[in-house]
Structure 1
């Protein structure tokens, strides 16, 4: 059970703010709507950049129930940059291995992080309320250090107005409404996004017919720390099931229910408990902590930027839970957006740089939706011939490696490579490892004094591996220089040469040798300053 039921505690209760007594609406550089994982990460990132930000939430506590539980390697690396990754890993359940079953037989297993030299694992399982609590703790820590972050609980946005150079926000509080203005408004207010609805916007994409029961149960069990997925298990014949371990003796169970169900009836304990007993056995003692029923949805907004309002996380896109691409994608949205917004607010980049957020994260959303849709079609075949193909792939995968790539129990979250981004400079090292081409996130590597990613992020960085380099100036944009001796791991992942790394640890350009002019041109391109 969650420590002292953290989701029952008022962690950021309403307090009256002087803005409510101002004679005219107060203007803030950035207002973020929604204090879930994405909104909190956005506010922290902006605060680290020195950008004043107001975070509004209609609640005053963390989310009820586990909700998102699988946090992938890339978001953990982003949390490291934000200053709270270690706490999450310490509390979370670390795993790299998954197993796939057909009926009662295990057909194969897989390792999501087969190579060494990375600080972070492929995944941790950690309840969303703990993630939010740790982000809140980090936000409070930054506030104590003077970071310009405000968090206002019980502050519900009820109306939004768009203007050429700002947005207006009407806020309802326990003491009545008031208005604020923002140079930029970031909507992180979830799949039901009131912000999106207020602007008359909607999703495009698919909603699938199948329904799934999701239950968090507390129990003492000796299942290993792995992801187990069943097709056609005896305890849920003709359907699928998933089992995950979480901290505090909590286990996540997903059970496919099929079409045409009454969701409220299926959530009743008298209906949930027999299903779980059939899975675990009559003699296993457990208690329900949280229950929900969901349908697969693979949808997104047509654009994520609308004038002065920018959407991130579930407010911008939705995918099915299998694959852990929802919250993980939202954290990468924030990672992509905040450094760009900082440059725009400072006047170091044109507003059109924010269009690259739209392009790059739409690309990421499309990648997630494609993989999520394929997973859904494999898990829930829509025709008899599809089911025959799926079952044949599962049977063959038990003995033949060639069939395993066809098995899809949820293609798990991986970082997005922004191939074709307008911010990339043409690759001057095509013979170097493809995994570090322009647009790619930097893979980690162990160094004699730590890990590579601990030294990157927040600013542009010139990374020189096994070659000479000098400091570079590019107007008022700060640029770090890191020179590393080549090693076996660096050679395998980067080769030798010069890399230009963006503040979000994505690669903007690479060259075989140092060229200050080329670096300045690449920075101009990566900041939208190229005509």
Structure 2
């Protein structure tokens, strides 16, 4: 068993806040030291925003949990300072295969084009992701960044007092009170903060259960995503196989609805199921076993006064499609820059309403795709099953039918089409880098475009003139000048048939506005709109 589960990374220590005569107020408090909570805290700290992270635990999560991290998540991780660590630790993959019974129906490549720094996906146990995030927190602390990580601190009461949030914290020593100008709840699907505030999810719970088993074994399976419909080792159901580092393999087996979860999790019942799949002589060790039920649900809104919800605390989707953790990391990158501007008095706090609006849009997109995946994987009627099986049969012969097969459409970056923050757009430039979409990476000589973008407002000019800097109401906009001469990838992604292009980029690398040439009045108006100051 991996000893990382047993190692306290941020053990409880008595803090001076506990002895204060009156509650100490902090700029920002994050509750939950999982991937989303740590990501938003690191992003804030890198922008100079003081942040305290509280968690009742003091170590990484037990079990692999989330394992598939998308290219967009890796690009965000680059900005947070851990992208290369994740790739070095993870298992890189782009290829997936779909089976019906024991016959391969087809295969697919999730990143068929060249010119990206990061792969389509890596597989990496969530505990390693958290370990790298905690290590990054320690690096930032050594550099003097204003970030604290407090373990053994459980939030037991919360009160939104209008211009601050009051919390009661339980520790191994005692309880104490603390205050936050803003509270970010990243405390998971069962969010105690959500419950304390009397809030709930809306959405669907699907009548099906799946067994997750992470097994340690030596196997010759390739580094690919394998998905089976009606496999011989789990007839009438589905199965999934993924490779992780350290000889750990993720196996998902559909079990059906009417089961005894406690019984199904017992090793004496799990092991025979796995031997049916892997063979009677297979040698393996169970690392982690769980039963989950498909759920596609979210809060109605992610901002409630001074409390902001992110990650699983705000939304849940079924695991097929790798949308949970990847969506949560996108929550973090959307929220951090907006909160930083509000705390610096460079934007009104109504800007945080756009966090809820944009990420509710992202959650709805994930829920729609996850629901479609679930309905395809677990048909609820004979007609649905007949359609599903016909689509599979046709997909093996005709490429046009393959998009009909839905074994879990995998996570893609969210484009904020229709956002109130979006400025002018033009059809003269390519659709993939439209307003609202995240910037697309491209090689630049010896480097990469996305390594030069993010963390602040920027003006990306492609073969266009513009000032090196603009000050827009205290927000500095920095120019990043590139040329498409001799760079067909850059031309295809950012110019198309246009001779030049000017892109206003938000701090989260999403396109806020774009033009074919520079216009200072238009850029200033677009910055005001992107920061909620155009009201």
The normalised TM-score by structure 2 is 0.98
Question: 499, 509, 513: which one pairs with 2:503?
Answer: 499
- Distance of 1:480 and 1:55 partners within structure 2: 31
- Distance of 1:359 and 1:485 partners within structure 2: 35
- Distance of 1:205 and 1:321 partners within structure 2: 16
Q: Is the 8 A contact 2:428 2:516 kept in 1?
A: no
What is the DSSP-based 3-state SS (H/G/I as helix, E as strand, rest coil) of the residue aligned with 1:439? coil
Q: Is the 8 A contact 2:421 2:512 kept in 1?
A: yes
How far did 1:475 drift? 2.0
Question: 14, 17, 28: which one pairs with 2:15?
Answer: 17
Alignment of 1:95-106 (within 5 A): 95-106=93-104
**Superposed CA RMSD:** 0.6
How far did 1:466 drift? 1.1
- Distance of 1:222 and 1:478 partners within structure 2: 53
What is the DSSP-based 3-state SS (H/G/I as helix, E as strand, rest coil) of the residue aligned with 1:377? helix
Match in the other structure for 2:437: 440
- Distance of 1:256 and 1:454 partners within structure 2: 41
How far did 1:10 drift? 0.8
Match in the other structure for 1:242: 240
How far did 1:441 drift? 0.3
What is the DSSP-based 3-state SS (H/G/I as helix, E as strand, rest coil) of the residue aligned with 2:375? helix
Match in the other structure for 2:118: 120
Superposed CA deviations along residues 188-230 of structure 1, whole A, max 9, x for unmatched, are 0000000000000000000001000000000000000000000
What is the DSSP-based 3-state SS (H/G/I as helix, E as strand, rest coil) of the residue aligned with 1:274? helix
Match in the other structure for 2:381: 383
How far did 1:468 drift? 1.2
Match in the other structure for 1:311: 309
Superposed CA deviations along residues 490-513 of structure 1, whole A, max 9, x for unmatched, are 111110310000000000000010
Count of aligned residue pairs for this structure pair: 528
Superposed CA deviations along residues 231-285 of structure 1, whole A, max 9, x for unmatched, are 0000000000000000000000000000110000000000000000000111221
Alignment of 1:121-520 (within 5 A): 121-427=119-425, 429-470=426-467, 471-486=469-484, 487-495=487-495, 496-520=500-524
- Distance of 1:101 and 1:48 partners within structure 2: 45
Q: Is the 8 A contact 2:169 2:177 kept in 1?
A: yes
Question: 79, 83, 102: which one pairs with 1:85?
Answer: 83
- Distance of 1:359 and 1:303 partners within structure 2: 8
Superposed CA deviations along residues 274-321 of structure 1, whole A, max 9, x for unmatched, are 000000111221010000000000000001000000000000000000
What is the DSSP-based 3-state SS (H/G/I as helix, E as strand, rest coil) of the residue aligned with 1:469? coil
What is the DSSP-based 3-state SS (H/G/I as helix, E as strand, rest coil) of the residue aligned with 2:239? strand
Q: Is the 8 A contact 2:424 2:515 kept in 1?
A: no
- Distance of 2:483 and 2:294 partners within structure 1: 48
Unaligned runs of 5+ in 2: none
Superposed CA deviations along residues 115-142 of structure 1, whole A, max 9, x for unmatched, are 1110000000000000000000001000
The normalised TM-score by structure 1 is 0.99
Match in the other structure for 2:28: 30
What is the DSSP-based 3-state SS (H/G/I as helix, E as strand, rest coil) of the residue aligned with 1:478? strand
List structure 1 runs of 4+ shifted beyond 3 angstroms: none
- Distance of 2:345 and 2:395 partners within structure 1: 56
Q: Tell me which moved more, 478-487 or 30-39.
A: 478-487
How far did 1:435 drift? 0.5
Q: Tell me which moved more, 181-190 or 490-499.
A: 490-499
How far did 1:7 drift? 1.1
Unaligned runs of 5+ in 1: none
- Distance of 1:450 and 1:462 partners within structure 2: 18
- Distance of 1:424 and 1:69 partners within structure 2: 33
What is the DSSP-based 3-state SS (H/G/I as helix, E as strand, rest coil) of the residue aligned with 2:470? coil
How far did 1:163 drift? 1.1
- Distance of 1:286 and 1:177 partners within structure 2: 45
- Distance of 2:300 and 2:93 partners within structure 1: 35
- Distance of 1:116 and 1:446 partners within structure 2: 10
- Distance of 2:184 and 2:159 partners within structure 1: 13
